[in-house]
Amino acid sequence: MEIEEYFNYRTDLLERSKDDNGFVSEPLLLTEVMPSLLDAKLVDSEDVSNSYNISIVNKSKINAYQVNESGERLQVFIVDESSIDLTSTNENLLVSQKSTYENQFKRAYRFINKAIKGHLNDEIQDSDPTRPLITKISSSEGIHQFDVVEIFLISVTATVSLSTASPTPKRIEFEDEELKISYSRERENVSKKLVIKKKLIDLNFLYNVLISEGNREPLLVNFEQRFGHSIECIRAANENNFDSFLCVLPASILSKLYKNDSTRLLEKNVRSFLQLKIDVNKGIRETIRTEPEKFIAYNNGITITAIEADTYELDGKTYIKSLNDFQIVNGGQTTATIYFTEKDGYDISKVNVMAKINVAKEAGEEELEKLITNISKFSNAQTRVSLVDLRSRNSQLIQLKSLSESIVTPNGLKWFFERAKGEFNTKLRIAGNQKKRIQKDYPTEKRFSKEQLAKYYTAWGEQPFVVKKGGEKVFRAFIEVLSGDGFKKKPLLIDRTFYEELIAKMILFRKLEKTYGMGKNSIGQIRSAVIPYTLSILYKYTDGGKKMNHFDLLKIWKSEKLEDDLLIYLTDLLKLVNSLIKKYALSDDLGEYSKKSELWDAILSSVEIKSFMASKDSSTILSKYTLTKEERIKRVKARKGVIPVDFSFISENTLIHTNGDEYYRKIASLYAGELTVNEERKLSTIITSISQLKDIDKSYLNFEKQLINRIRINRPEIFDKLPQNKFLQLYDTLNYIVKKYNSIIDNNGDLESEFKKIENIAEAKGLKYTGVIHEIGKQFCEGTEPNIKQLDYASHCILKEKAPNKNKEIDINEVELSELFLRRMVEWDVLSNVLSLKERNYVADFAYGLKSLTSFHERNVKKYLDKLIVSGFKIN
């Protein structure tokens, strides 16, 4: 069953990787895969420099590359094109032989080897996207900079063992290789061994990242295997939940660890390496150079955490053989500086470092996070540390999630915020026969992760170079602004307006990405830099400028698209920025140089940008799409009296109640042997709550999530045996109420009176429980969401009234607006009072022949028709 899950995931992955012509695109596949590599902490950023190069003659290929944050590691990506063939059968996609993958790795290795030796310098044209990489790694500077080349093979195949009755997943590890190279540095001949690492990114890896909700792969450091000896230590504490050891580590061990694992060692370190120009790092370096024996006395040492230690006693001494989930949580700067100091030729053989090792026994991810946060908080900080919460449990992210559950677009749709990795996939996996419906409700273009959220938000600002860095850099910048821990003194107000403007920024970003394009028909090859730079320029000349008008983001939110004139204008700006990045970059590697603030400063202050933004076209566009300060204040005031309603609790309840009690009884039966007594009791409480139509407590909602995720990981086949969504009326009723609530808010209407109108319509039709509708409207005025029992009552009068209506099967644009039909609209609304008096009179003018119905008026009338349909008007 696990292999079957892999192939289900493959289908979804390739579907998301199709271009506008329906073909699976290698660059789009890489874009889909990179966030998983970032989640697993294998890369520092999801952004890559696309540099497609394939040679039949040389049997070589690469798709893209990036350089890690500290600069010593070149990461190369290659897509196995045969694995994305849509005609391949599942049987053909099962790989059991290591040699199959080795042959693919060799293609990238050949490219790197030839490039380093300079064999490609005359073969590749200056316009080739691989030219900057080839120029770099064939130079003495590049050869000195890179100590490790890491090749990532993207293959959407399942790696299996065929030695059992049916194929079972297996993992293949690939040995490191060394490439001996010579080069000249400061007029001397130097030789070094370049380490070549190989990492397979197959369906096994991608699916496991998905179901682990983004938790990274623990780093195991076996000192005996790597260095030939264990580490002597003193056991300082042996508590119930953690052990603590003290030891002295030779600097050579730390240097080798950093070379082999780079920033993976520091992934939970709240400081990233701050470069050698910082005074603290200069001091570390100077001590190594002049007084290496005294380093241990001058330096504070490092703190390491792990979740498991393999130790033994010998001759009264304690030794550590290996540490699992090895992390340097304090002293990352010390470690990195030791590595780079040795790299620059200084002797570190006499340098030792004091280390404290804390082993959190039987700790889950959350307990380990808490331990590390406290270590960082209470340690003697070398530089100021920002202690923002970067996890999906961050309170600001929870608030944004609740807004995404509560706010509907003017077109009646929601955006899905995937706060935790795999959240949407879980929703689909348990949806059964409602899977297509959920996919339709939340298409790919209306879903976003917390990492994408950070990128879109930060691009609308003054740091496009941070957006280009991606990864934790941009996410940290985003969270710091939200929480007030960065340059802002106060946390930002995360309300309805903030959310709607945030979605508008996403629409802007994604539309410009599509406009810029990828591949042969694109504006250029530096899309990931051009988009944030373009948006930051627009920001600087609107929201970010002194005495400037505010860009009207809510105009984009309401239409959910860019008007033609705005898109044409921004396309011209995209083309200009594309050319300016090439002009002002002081490096051929545009992707890497666009991560520097110097490029942003040069472009922003350039004559070309000043001239473009002072043009008549700019004046026309900015006049149309901006608001004065007074207009913005007026808009904000219009919403101030509304107490926001959080629908997240009732949404979670509704999803569980929609499944029905039989669904959970079946889980209790099929999963019985793997539930504790306490879990059985909790599941029983959920079943009782469903049968009695009671709200399920928050703690039980969390338990249900954890249980479903456990089943998804360990026993996914159980979902195929569960009854599917028997009580969809609750789901549909909530959707109706949320849409109605949002429509009233967007039009600055009165919640109580508008819901009273709905009650009157239902009452006039003789339906039951109509009083609950007005009751819900009154609760909304107090900022309170409905409960599950109210939803059940409301379904009797809302859905039964709507049941015979076939409107959903009819395209509103195909409705013929005859005078007879228009009169029906007017007469129905006289009784129902859905439209305003002005809107009703507008329709009446055409219904009774007082005005001619042009295409312009027809569009307006259909907007009003849509409002009537939502309230129960029947087309037939």
DSSP string, 392-440: TT-HHHHHHHHHHHH---TTS---EEE-STTHHHHHHHTTGGGHHHHHH
pLDDT at 381: 46
Residue 215 has pLDDT above 70, yes or no: no
Q: Write the single-letter amino acid at 854.
A: T
Out of 39-53, 102-116, 328-342, 637-651, least confident range: 637-651
Average of per-residue pLDDT across 61-68: 94
Q: What are phi and psi of 170, to 5 degrees?
A: -145, 165
Q: What are phi and psi of 116, to 5 degrees?
A: -60, -40
Question: For residues 521 and 468, which has the higher predicted lDDT (pLDDT)?
Answer: 468
Exposed, middle or buried, 767 (CB in 10 Å: 0-12/13-18/19+)?
middle
Q: Write the single-letter amino acid at 122.
A: D
| Contact yes or no for 527/516 (Cβ under 8 A) | yes
The SS3 assignment for 34 reads: helix
Residue 275 has pLDDT above 60, yes or no: no
Query: What are 548-569's pLDDT values in tens digits?
Result: 899 999 999 988 899 999 999 9
| Contact yes or no for 638/650 (Cβ under 8 A) | no
pLDDT at 216: 65
Q: How far apart are CA 797 and CA 784, in angstroms?
A: 21
Closest residue by Cα to residue 215 from 95, 364, 347, 111: 364
Six token digits for residue 49: 């420099």
Q: How far apart are CA 494 and CA 90, in angstroms?
A: 46
Q: How far apart are CA 623 and CA 617, in angstroms?
A: 10
pLDDT at 385: 43
Out of 114-123, 278-287, 467-476, least confident range: 278-287
pLDDT band at 384 (very low <50, low <70, confident <90, very high): very low
Sign (positive or negative) of CA dihedral 557, 560, 564, 569: positive
pLDDT at 315: 92
pLDDT at 505: 96
| Contact yes or no for 666/723 (Cβ under 8 A) | yes
Residue 351 has pLDDT above 50, yes or no: yes
Q: Which residues of 711-734 are buried (b: 16+ CB within 10 A; e: fewer)?
A: bbbeebebbeebebbebebbbbbb
Q: What is the DSSP letter of 264?
A: G
Average of per-residue pLDDT across 445-460: 92
pTM for the complete prediction? Answer: 0.78
Q: In 250-355, which residue ranges form alpha helices assigned H by DSSP?
A: 251-261, 279-290, 295-298, 332-343
pLDDT at 555: 92
Q: What is the DSSP letter of 21?
A: T
Residue 799 has pLDDT above 60, yes or no: yes
pLDDT at 245: 96
Six token digits for residue 157: 């195949």
With a CB cutoff of 8 Å and minimum separation 6, the contacts of 249 are: 231, 302, 352, 353, 355
Residue 276 has pLDDT above 50, yes or no: no
Residue 818 has pLDDT above 90, yes or no: no
Out of 78-87, 126-135, 604-613, least confident range: 126-135
Average of per-residue pLDDT across 249-271: 81
Q: What are phi and psi of 201, to 5 degrees?
A: -110, 90
pLDDT at 352: 95
Residue 779 has pLDDT above 70, yes or no: yes
What is the maximum alpha-carbon separation in the chain? 105
Distances in Å between the alpha carbon of 369 and those of 37, 269, 325, 466?
A: 20, 11, 12, 25
pLDDT band at 480 (very low <50, low <70, confident <90, very high): confident
Q: How far apart are CA 658 and CA 649, in angstroms?
A: 14
With a CB cutoff of 8 Å and minimum separation 6, the contacts of 223 are: 229, 230, 231, 253, 320, 321, 322, 323
Q: What is the DSSP letter of 272?
A: P
Query: What are 394-435's pLDDT values in tens digits?
Result: 778 888 998 998 898 887 788 999 887 778 877 776 666 567
Distances in Å between the alpha carbon of 38 and those of 62, 176, 200, 617, 625?
A: 20, 22, 15, 41, 36
Exposed, middle or buried, 30 (CB in 10 Å: 0-12/13-18/19+)?
buried
Q: How far apart are CA 322 and CA 324, in angstroms?
A: 7
| Contact yes or no for 17/24 (Cβ under 8 A) | yes
Sign (positive or negative) of CA dihedral 282, 288, 289, 294: positive
Annotate 750-767 with DSSP letters as a single string: -HHHHHHHHHHHHHHTT-
Q: How far apart are CA 256 and CA 799, in angstroms?
A: 67
pLDDT at 811: 65
Q: What are phi and psi of 431, to 5 degrees?
A: -80, -20
Question: For residues 39 and 379, which has the higher predicted lDDT (pLDDT)?
Answer: 39
Q: What are phi and psi of 714, to 5 degrees?
A: -95, -35
pLDDT band at 821 (very low <50, low <70, confident <90, very high): confident
Average of per-residue pLDDT across 363-376: 61
pLDDT at 862: 87
With a CB cutoff of 8 Å and minimum separation 6, the contacts of 418 are: 424, 447, 448, 449, 450
Query: What are 151-204's pLDDT values in tens digits?
Result: 999 999 999 999 888 899 999 999 999 999 988 887 888 899 999 999 999 999
| Contact yes or no for 617/569 (Cβ under 8 A) | yes
| Contact yes or no for 690/396 (Cβ under 8 A) | no
- Mean pLDDT of all residues in the chain? 86
Query: What are 748-778's pLDDT values in tens digits?
Result: 888 999 999 988 888 888 888 899 999 999 9
pLDDT band at 30 (very low <50, low <70, confident <90, very high): very high
Highest mean pLDDT among 207-211, 506-510, 739-743: 506-510
Pairing label, strands 447-449, 416-418: parallel
pLDDT band at 856 (very low <50, low <70, confident <90, very high): confident
With a CB cutoff of 8 Å and minimum separation 6, the contacts of 536 are: 459, 460, 461, 462, 463, 464, 600, 604
Annotate 481-524 with DSSP letters as a single string: HHHT-SS-SS----SHHHHHHHHHHHHHHHHHHHHH-SGGGSS-
Highest mean pLDDT among 471-475, 486-490, 620-624: 620-624
Average of per-residue pLDDT across 264-289: 64
Six token digits for residue 693: 């139509």
Average of per-residue pLDDT across 786-815: 71
Cα angle 347, 349, 353; round to 5? 110
Query: End-to-end alpha-carbon separation of the chain, Å?
Result: 47
